[in-house]
Every structure is written in structure tokens, then in C-alpha cells.
Amino acid sequence: MKNHVVLVVSIMVVLFLVLTISVPVTGYSHPSASVLVVPYIFQANSIPAAGLIQPEELIKLLAAPQGEKPLLIQVGSHVLYQEAHVPGSEYVGPASSAAGLEKLRQRLQSVARKTRIILYCGCCPWGHCPNIKPAWELSQSMGFSNVKVLYIAENFGTNWVDKGYPTAKGD
Amino acid sequence: MRYLWILIGAAGLLLALALASRHRSPGHTGQLQPGSQAPEFSVIALDGKQLNLASYRGKVILLDFWATWCGPCREEIPIFVQLQNKYRDRGLQIIGISMDDGPEPVRQFYRDFHMNYPVALGGARLGELYGGIFGLPIAFLIGRDGRIDAKHVGPTNPSMWEGEITRLLAENGSSAGEFNPAVSNRPECYLAACNVQFNALRRRDRVKFAPFNSSTTNVLSMT
């Protein structure tokens, strides 16, 4: 009996090691890959640090049993939203376009100005995101005082999906 | 005996955690390892023709997921146009999959940037097929045998592209010959190799690619 138990445990441990070591769950890139540094006007960098929320903080916020849940709005690509988004978040359209910005304005029109709002995109590396700054500026111009922007350094895949944070897909 | 059952329980928990980590997100990229077969797909390209990945078997394929609103994508595409020109005869085929929400901006972009390779609209399903395209740009290099050689997430150094492409072209096919990694690590050499007047784009030691408007067209016209 004791030998059987040891055998079962050994198999489980081996399976665990195989599953966790052989399958990289964070994707891959060529070992020699490097990042091209291109001078660029990093428009998203002008959003003040006080206006940012890190993914880890948002996870804690969403997991908290009590407290007001934020209004989560994705202001980027619809295709990327369909593939994966933060559960419970709404899609309004890319804020870099006039149409997307107008949809955001309409969505926020009836929202109380003290509502906790979190805007996010994640389409591109932070400095290259065309959507997040216009969305942030609109929220400020409309008088919202409790808005945070989710800081996504690389993209939604690298900084959210690959970290195993919860996602939903579809509309 | 009781300790053995605790041990079994702990091992079972570890096993469950390992399984959960494999299925923790939709379409995670773990399924597309280097060396795995590139998933086949068939879509309608902007020109109305059918675009089948399988029909390019035997060529080295650079499959680029991009969008017109994506800054790094716009910076890379003139480079891809140059690469397509330079290595077409040796067997390079670049394929662009736009993740835009509609075709109109893509058609305009295609004309403005003088794109010389097939482009089709993608979508969530195609993205999921490739392990999830959760940000842009993302590009796959696929060898002549249809297997994925590399995946690049985010902007990538142009000399890196050329190095990898020529290496793949040389495998079971024509030799790239003139590529010299020691030289091509310098972006200006890469561009010089493409007969582009790099100095017009250069600012000190930094690389500055053409902006997203008419000057990009100027660069392309120099090829």
C-alpha cells in the first residue's frame, strides 16, 4: 500500500514539473530579439502619475469583496476587445478617432462626476498608444474627479493576459 | 499513513495548479512554440483575392499583425516594403493582417504607404488562431517548411528583421549572400543596403523613421 502511494505521488510530481517547465505560458520571442528605440512624442507620458493605476492594483480592486466597483472602459480597438478584455469592462471605441471620442462623451454624459472610472487601452506600448491620452483629457474636461488610467507598459497581452489576470472575450 | 494522504493531497494541488496555469487565459501564446506549424487560414485580401497561407508554402513568410492606428506598426511598414522589394526574388513573402475595425482606413493606408504585399483584414478569430493578438504589432516569421521560427511582440529593430529573414532564406533555398550581421546591426547600414537616403531621416545617432504622412511616401519613392 505504501509503495503504491509513493508511486502515485511521484507521478503527480513529475506531471507537475513537465507541465510547468515545458510550456512557457508567457509566449516567446526570438532569443536575439531587441527593441527598436524610435524617437517619438510619447503622448501618454503626459498623463500625471497620480492619474495612473497599475494592473496589480486593479486586480486587488476588482477582487475586493467590498467597496465601489469602478466603471471600466476600454477606449481602443474593437477587435482586440473581442479577443480579450478586463471582465466587466465596456467598449466605447478608439478615443483617437472623433467618433470614438464622441461615444466616450456620450457614455460619460449621464455618469456622476465622482464615479470611480478606469480607462484602459493596451493596444500598443504605452508611449505609442494613440487612444489613452485623448480619453483621459476628455474625462478631465467633463469634470470627472476620480478617473484612473490603467498603465499598460507593453500591451494588454504582455501586461495582463500573460500574467494570468482574468479576461473575458467577445462583446 | 495520515502523512501519506497529506502528501497525496499536496501533490494533487500542485497538479491542479499546473493544469490551471495552462488554461488560465483565452488563446494564450503557449500553443505556438517556435518550430510548431503555422496555423493555416484563408481570408479575402484587400484586392478581393483569396489569401491562403498554404499557397505560400516554400517561401519564407513574415506574417505581420498590425493596424493603421498603431504607431510602431506604421514605423515598421516602410521597412517591410523595402524588405519585400529586396528579397522577393529569393523567396520572401510578407503578409499583412490588419486588425483595424473596418477596411476603409486600411485601403487608404495601403495606397499612402505603397504597400507591395498582400494585406487582409483579420479579426478576433484569426487572432485567437495565432495564440491571441492582444497588442500590436505582433509578427511571426515562418520558414519555408511552414513552421514558426520566431514571434516578435512590439517594435523590432530593422536589422533584426533582415538578419532573421536572410538566415531563413538561406535554409533550403537560395543563399542571401550579402548580409553581414556585423555591419547590419547598424540601422543606417540596413537602410543603405536598401538604397534609401538614410541621412535625410537621421538625427544624430538615433534612428528616426519617416513620419506618418507624405514624407513616408518620399522615402518609398527613393527605392
Helix axes B2-22, A2-22, angle to 10 degrees: 20
In this prediction, residue A15 carries a pLDDT of: 58
Q: Nearest by CB to B135, which of A25, A35, A157?
A: A157
> Is B208 an 8 Å CB contact of chain A?
yes
In this prediction, residue B221 carries a pLDDT of: 24
Residue A44 CB: number of other CB atoms within 10 A? 23
Residue A1 CB: number of other CB atoms within 10 A? 7
CB contact under 8 A, A84 and B164: no
> Is A45 an 8 Å CB contact of chain B?
no
Q: Nearest by CB to A162, which of B28, B122, B203?
A: B28
Rg (CA), chain B: 21
Contacting residues of A for B99, CB less than 8 Å apart = 77, 79-80
Residue pLDDT, tens place only, B15-57: 555 444 433 333 344 457 788 999 999 999 999 999 999 999 9
- Give the pLDDT band (50/70/90) at residue B3: low
- Give the pLDDT band (50/70/90) at residue B94: very high
DSSP letter for each residue of B115-128: --S-EEE--HHHHH
DSSP letter for each residue of A52-106: EE-HHHHHHHHH-SSSPPPEEEE-S-HHHHHH-B-TT-EE---TTSHHHHHHHHH
* d(C-alpha A92, C-alpha A102), whole Å: 9
In this prediction, residue B185 carries a pLDDT of: 34
Rg (CA), chain A: 20
Min Cα separation B7/chain A (Å): 7
Closest to A138 measured CA to CA, from A123, A112, A119, A152: A119
Residue type, B95: I
Contacting residues of A for B100, CB less than 8 Å apart = 77, 79
**Chain B contacts in chain A segment 145-164 (CB below 8 A):** 154-158, 160-162, 164
Stated length of chain B: 223
**What is the phi/psi pair of residue B175, to 5°?**
-80, 140
CB contact under 8 A, A155 and B134: yes
**Chain A contacts in chain B segment 129-158 (CB below 8 A):** 131-136, 138, 141, 149-158
Closest to A30 measured CA to CA, from B26, B67, B167: B167
Where is pLDDT greater, at A42 or B195?
A42
> Is B160 an 8 Å CB contact of chain A?
yes
> Which set of grid coordinates corresponds to residue A14?
513529475
Where is pLDDT greater, at A111 or B2?
A111
**Sequential pLDDT tens for chain A (171 residues):** 666 766 666 666 655 554 443 333 222 333 233 333 333 346 888 999 999 999 999 999 999 988 889 999 999 999 999 999 999 999 999 999 999 999 999 999 999 999 999 999 999 999 999 999 999 999 999 999 999 999 999 999 999 999 999 999 998
Model pTM score: 0.70
A37 → chain B, closest CA residue: B207
Where is pLDDT greater, at B180 or A139?
A139
* Helix H or strand E segment including A13: helix A2-22
**C-alpha torsion sign, points B154, A125, A38, A79:** positive
